[in-house]
Amino acid sequence: MGNSESINTVMYTAAMIADGKLIAAAIEGRVKNRLANTDQKKICFVMFGEHAASVQFVGMKTRVAERLGISVSVQEFSGNADTDTACELVASLAQEGFDGIVVQLPLPRHMDVQKVLDSVPARLDVDVLSTAAKNFFVREDSEIAPPVARAVIEILDYYDISLEEKEILIVGNGKLVGEPVATMISRNGIPFHVIDKNTPEEEKILRMKSADIIITGVGSPHMIKPEMIKEGAVLIDAGTSEQAGKLVGDIDPACAEIASLMTPVPGGVGPVTVACLFLNLVAK
């Protein structure tokens, strides 16, 4: 799978920039193959309140779904709804024949986020954010995986990068990136290290400088600088934040001068994550 020449054996002068759109297109091809022999799938995206980034992300997911021939419903509810009302609204959608339901984050601050996510039945939770769906994933009782975790593995596979005998570092242990990626790698029995805001600075520097593969999802603009990584490191950037009106990642673009592979933001992990969401939908 992926490029015919392994990146592990390539001499480089600067990073190969991963093409997330190309990888996503390959995954969409797999989704189409699965859809060819099934009834039309239906997915529902749920939003509470008006959040510009949410509208943008749901729009992107909707376009991919339509391209794949998947029926889409976007349900927009008031951001003033309380947690119990939000849960009732989401639960009611589960009775409407959808194959997948996605509650778009972030939710309004007054809501109990996990409680709302838990109102999505595990069988419909293609984002793997409900407690039940996450437990199935951890126990390996389900074929589906958190989209961002699967996206990381898909990118590494595409460029023929093995995790075996590598020093792997996960930066951040959040529920959307760090935690699911750690679980995904653990399921393969591969050792790794995690650093976060509570890690002593000396240990952070040591781990970063010795890592062969760095996977980050903190959401801190360009926090990882070239002098912090070793030459030839593989950099997977799943962290996104806004800076001067633009979407940027955790990794400074200048790191491309000494890395061997680097995912851009935007256009890297993001498109692959969306494609993996639909891979989950057809796996059900």
pLDDT of residue 5: 44
Residue 244 backbone class (left: φ over 0; alpha: ψ -120 to 50; beta: rest): left
User: Cβ of 67: how many Cβ atoms within 10 Å?
Assistant: 13
Instruction: Give residue 19's pLDDT.
Output: 97
Burial class of residue 213 in the structure, from the number of CB atoms within 10 Å of its CB (0-12 exposed, 13-18 middle, 19+ buried): buried
Residue 134 lies in a domain: no
Question: Does residue 40 have a pLDDT over 60?
Answer: yes
SS3 content of the chain, % helix, strand, coil (to 5): 40, 15, 45
The domain that contains 112 carries what CATH number?
3.40.50.10860
User: Are both 72 and 185 inside the same structural domain?
Assistant: no
- % the chain with pLDDT above 70: 95
Q: Does residue 231 lie within any of the structural domains?
A: yes
pLDDT at site 249 = 96
Assigned domain for 4 exists: no
| Strand 234-237 versus strand 16-17 pairing type | unpaired
In a domain, 70, yes or no: yes
User: Residues 159, 119: one domain?
Assistant: no
| Domain CATH code at residue 166 | 3.40.50.720
Tell me what the pLDDT averaged over the chain comes to: 93
Same domain, 47 and 157: no
Specify the range with the lowest mean pLDDT, choosing from 9-23, 99-113, 158-172. Answer: 9-23
Helix 20-35 and helix 269-283, axial crossing angle in degrees, nearest 10: 10
Residue 162 sits in the same domain as residue 104: no
Q: Are residues 170 and 200 in the same domain?
A: yes
Predicted local distance difference test score (pLDDT) of residue 225: 97
Give the three-state DSSP class for 124.
helix
Of residues 244 and 128, more confidence is placed in 128
Q: Which domain holds residue 217?
A: 146-272
Confidence of residue 15 (pLDDT cuts 50, 70, 90): confident
Tell me the residue length of the chain. 284
- Among 92, 125, 158, give the residue marking a domain's end: 125
Same domain for 165 and 88: no
Is there a single domain that holds both residue 173 and residue 258?
A: yes
* Rounded CA separation 267/263 (Å): 8
At residue 6, the pLDDT reads: 44
pLDDT of residue 165: 95
Distance CA 15, CA 224 (A): 15
Is pLDDT at 10 greater than 90 in this prediction?
A: no
pLDDT at residue 9 above 60? no
Q: Residue 179: which pLDDT band, with cuts at 50, 70 and 90? A: very high
Q: Is residue 249 part of a domain?
A: yes
Question: 62 to each of 183, 223, 281, how far by Cα in Å?
Answer: 28, 32, 14
Average pLDDT over residues 67-91: 97
Same-domain status, 44 and 112: yes
pTM of the model: 0.92
Q: At how many degrees (to 10) do helices 131-138 and 178-187 cross?
A: 30
Residue 187 shares a structural domain with residue 261: yes
> How much is the pLDDT for 2?
53
185 pLDDT exceeds 70? yes
